[in-house]
Amino acid sequence: MLPILEGIGGRLLAPVGNENPELVFAGLSYDSRKVKEADAFFCIEGEKQDGNKFIADAVKAGAACIITERQPADSPPAPCIIVKDVRLALAQVGDYFFEHPSGRLRLLGVTGTNGKTTTTHLVEHILLHDRRRVGLIGTLGARTSQGTQESKYLDMKHTTPQASDLQALLAEMAQSNVSHVAMEVSSHALALKRVAACDFAVACLTNITQDHLDFHKTMENYWQSKRILFEQLGQSKQPNKTVVLNADDPLIAEFRQAAGADVRVWTYGWHSEADARVKSAIFDFAGTRLTAQTPHGELDLNLHLNGKFNVYNVLAALLICLAEGVDLQVCKQALENFLGVDGRFQSVKSGSQSAQPLCIVDYAHTPDGLENVLKSARAMLPSGGKLLVVFGCGGDRDATKRPQMGHIAQVLAHELFVTSDNPRSEDPAKIIADILKGIERAAGVTVEQDRATAIKMAVNAATDQDIVLIAGKGHETYQILGDRTIDFDDRIEVQKALANRWV
């Protein structure tokens, strides 16, 4: 048996007539439809499918061995390794098979409810300015970049890829001489052990607020899943490890403790005595004028980014890059020419109109995320201006946040347009009804199930002094309606509405 198969604590069950099989495999697979000759097939039990039901298909496709948590009832059709945790086994075998790629680069993990995507993109941008070859993995996809030219994203299906896909991607990046990888680490990925065998150099916490309770069930389970990243950092074999924590998050002590005593801890915050903290911040339509105290001295920044939440993201990215040896002035240069991330508080304009409302598209889909972007938009409003908000909630997801988001929107928006997001298999009218439970006022509230129409109504209702914020889908270029997925992009709909304003 291969040493790695012994290392995962498995028990061999051989087919009758082949009691001493030679266990050699040429690849890893967890999808029977993608099995290649001599692959090891891992039987993962997911929410919708159980890999154990496809063992025969995998063997027919050429699988050399099966790794599963279940004892087969009969003689298996191929050598079986019975393990306690097949997801952990996939991570460990993937790490072994691809020759421990996370140890051949600096893996910078960012977790939290909001801000992961912007923070990792900021880290990537700063490191590119420091002439590093950088990998990026997250919600928008994965890419490797060098110099000032950022590459196109490769769609990885998940914010954090499945364990074997992640190890393969890291190996490819290490092979191409990537020095650092900025990676969003989702709570799902941590709970499902997708990053279990990774050696992190940095672990960063953005914040903890309600999200994904459809999966985690309780807030305790949710934040405990994110805490795993910091436990892994403490056990990592990487030198010069750093924890970067939001000092204003109530759970900071839990995450600080998780990493252990021999890891450097840097904190950032607004009104706290953090290592990186805000001294002053002024917001307007052009961006943010920020003065911050850092471990390497005071820093004045003129940012294109806007909003208090983005100041947190900037401070987090700044500390990560300072921890990795980037000069403070290089950080300043990079931060000041960073234009933002697709669908994250993104300003959308139409060239056909000189005077138009400021239209912003954002991915905010949690109560805290929505509150942050609405407060940031209100802080930018000129005297006499109004905030008009278009939003809905996704179907087949945590329903308890819907009335919360409705309440937040009614408090902070002058005019509110409640619409569909990605209803998936749920009735859009039922989702909207859940949102309306949190809305107590009738004035200034419009219900329009068709999202494109709702966007058009909001844009037409706005004056040139107003801000129209469309929340929930951000960078997404589709809408999921039942069993159909249609082309839909909030940014395109905004541009169309602006071009035909008042028509």
Domain borders along the chain are 3-96, 99-336, 346-499
| The pLDDT value given to residue 214 | 54
357: nearest Cα among 405, 414, 305: 414
Instruction: Report the C-alpha gap between 210 and 192 in whole angstroms.
Output: 19
User: pLDDT band at residue 113, thresholds of 50, 70 and 90?
Assistant: confident
Instruction: Report the C-alpha gap between 252 and 250 in whole angstroms.
Output: 6
Predicted confidence (pLDDT) per residue in 33-85, tens digit: 999 999 999 999 876 789 999 999 999 999 999 999 988 878 788 899 999 99
Give the rounded percent of residues in the chain with a pLDDT score beyond 90: 73
Predicted confidence (pLDDT) per residue in 170-200, tens digit: 999 999 999 999 999 988 889 899 999 999 9
Sign of CA dihedral 401, 402, 408, 411: negative
User: Can you say how many angstroms the Cα of residue 17 is from the centroid of all Cα atoms in its chain?
Assistant: 48
Which residues are 143's β-sheet partners?
A: 136
Among the residue ranges 6-20, 272-286, 443-457, 468-482, the one predicted with the least confidence is 6-20
Among the residue ranges 365-374, 401-410, 423-432, 466-475, the one predicted with the least confidence is 365-374
Residue type, 275: D
Distances (CA, A) of 482 to 287, 400, 419, 455, 471: 39, 21, 16, 21, 21
Q: Name the average pLDDT for the chain.
A: 91
| Phi/psi-derived region of residue 38, left when phi > 0, alpha when psi is between -120 and 50, beta in every other case | left
Predicted confidence (pLDDT) per residue in 217-260, tens digit: 687 778 678 889 999 999 999 999 999 999 998 889 888 999 98
Contact 322, 292 (CB under 8 A): no
Among the residue ranges 158-162, 281-285, 305-309, 375-379, the one predicted with the least confidence is 158-162
**Class assignment of domain 3-96?**
alpha beta
| The pLDDT value given to residue 260 | 87
| The pLDDT value given to residue 286 | 83
Angle CA(228)–CA(230)–CA(231) in degrees, nearest 5?
65
pLDDT of 352 strictly over 70? no
pLDDT of 1 strictly over 70? no
Q: What share of the chain is helix, strand, coil (3-state, %, to 5)?
A: 35, 25, 40
Q: Is CATH 1.20.1090.10 what the domain over 346-499 is classified as, yes or no?
A: no
Angle CA(422)–CA(427)–CA(428) in degrees, nearest 5?
50
Over residues 325-352, the mean pLDDT reads 92
Between the two ends of the chain, the Cα-to-Cα distance in Å is 72
pLDDT of 114 strictly over 90? no
Over residues 124-139, the mean pLDDT reads 96
| The pLDDT value given to residue 285 | 78
Distances (CA, A) of 373 to 370, 412, 423: 5, 10, 22
The DSSP element (H or E) to which 145 belongs, if any, is: strand 141-146
pLDDT of 267 strictly over 60? yes
| The pLDDT value given to residue 23 | 81
Give the rounded percent of residues in the chain with a pLDDT score beyond 70: 95
User: pLDDT band at residue 213, thresholds of 50, 70 and 90?
Assistant: low
**Class assignment of domain 99-336?**
alpha beta
